[in-house]
Amino acid sequence: MALAACSVSTTPGGDGNKDNADNDGPVSIGFSLATQQSPFYVQLRDGTEQAAEEAGAELSFADADGDVAKQNNDIQDLITRGVDILLVNPVDPQGVRAGLAAAEAAGVEVVTVDRPVPDGATAQVGRDNEEMGRLVGERVAGELGADGGKIIEIRGDAGGAVARDRGAGFHEALQDAPGVEIVEGPYCNYIRSEAVTAMQDLIQTNPDVKVVFAQNDDMALGALQVLRENGRDDVLVAGIDGLMEAVNAIDGGDQYLATALNDPIVLAQKAVDTAVALGHGEDVEAEIDAGTALVDDENSADLVGDTVFASGATE
């Protein structure tokens, strides 16, 4: 992940005080990204760069590297550079308040991407993470049937809205399932290597596990690696995001049971479209849902491709 070392890269920016409603020139967008430590966020950056180029917008980029203090500084830096609109993928929805306050003071509108904030943003572009968790949870419940069993849940980031909502949807889908016990595992920050380390302990303390659910596919694939190394092909795995590696595993009839679509390229396109519209003085919806859908053995073959994440009809 060489991109993780990046701070701020930029093409020539705009004037943060200019009125683009009466200006046909390029909109200058600043994008503060939480991290580049998982394939989803690498693709989110790539998709944003591609969409901005196609829209004729100017893009300045900053990687917070998981540090909320750095993100607040990055946002201030982007404002100083004179961007017209800010895209913010917050490290911490509460911790980024200082950056959002600086944007408001400078008259720069904010569009949050993937992760919402309680207030301070004109629009949120993301997906229904509860629905993602619910779709995967329903598939797991159906697979376990009347016998039930133990499920290990590997979680994303502590305090994060995405982790909270995905977990809530998953638990809701299984709350009435007979004989189900969910063991809430550690937060592994959506990183495969952290899930590998966690799963090595979890498999020893929970030898009767039947399913491992991770709040993204990268962590789920880490868990799958450990299960294979320990000869546990009897344990099913499920994740979220539609990472193509997971879709291929599902299509191959492997232990991978299901995932839910969360294509970052589509998300990036919608985020840039929203930023450009705002930059030209247009009204936008406060909540913009990029859609999702379940992926399992019924439709995985239709979604296999050469992209990093699967993309399909989600609405």
pLDDT in tens, 263-292: 999 999 999 999 999 999 999 999 999 999
pLDDT band, very low/low/confident/very high, at 10 (cuts 50, 70, 90): very low
CA distance 61 to 87: 9
The pLDDT, as a whole number, for residue 52 is 98
Domain layout of the chain by residue ranges? 2-126+265-284, 129-261+296-303
**CA distance readout (Å), 273 to 47, 100, 145:** 12, 21, 43
pLDDT confidence band for 24 (50 / 70 / 90): low
pLDDT of residue 69: 97
pLDDT at 161: 86
Question: Does residue 16 have a pLDDT over 70?
Answer: no
The closest of 96, 105, 99, 95 to 17, measured between CA atoms, is 105
Is the predicted pLDDT of residue 15 greater than 50, yes or no?
A: no
pLDDT tens readout for residues 284-293: 999 999 999 9
Q: For position 8, what pLDDT does the model report?
A: 38
Does the structure show a pLDDT above 70 at 62? yes
Mean pLDDT of 294-309: 96
What CATH number has the domain spanning 129-261+296-303? 3.40.50.2300
pLDDT, position 253 = 84
pLDDT recorded at residue 23: 55
CATH topology of domain 2-126+265-284: Rossmann fold (3.40.50)
Whether 234 has a pLDDT exceeding 60, the answer reads yes
Strand partners for 29: 59, 85
pLDDT band at 36 (very low <50, low <70, confident <90, very high): very high
- What mean pLDDT comes out for the span 92-119? 96
Q: Which pLDDT band, with edges at 50, 70 and 90, does 313 fall under?
A: low
Strand ranges (E), 120-222: 123-126, 149-155, 180-187, 209-214
Q: How far apart are CA 136 and CA 163, in angstroms?
A: 14
* Percent of the chain surpassing pLDDT 70: 91
Name the average pLDDT for the chain: 92
Q: What is the pLDDT of residue 14?
A: 43
Say if residue 6's pLDDT is above 50: no
Q: Is 70 exceeded by the pLDDT of residue 183?
A: yes
18, pLDDT greater than 50: no
2-126+265-284 and 129-261+296-303 share one fold: yes
Banded pLDDT at 254 (limits 50, 70, 90): confident
State phi, psi for 18 to the nearest 5 degrees: -80, 160
Instruction: Give the predicted TM-score (pTM) of the model.
Output: 0.85
- Note the pLDDT tens digit of each residue in 110-167: 999 999 999 999 999 999 999 999 999 999 999 999 999 999 999 999 988 899 999 9
CB atoms within 10 A of CB 109: 17
What percent of the chain lies above the pLDDT cut of 90? 87
pLDDT for the residue 159 = 84
What's the angle, vertex CA 150, arms to CA 226 and CA 261, rounded to 5?
65
The predicted model gives 50-56 an average pLDDT of 97
CA distance 271 to 279: 12
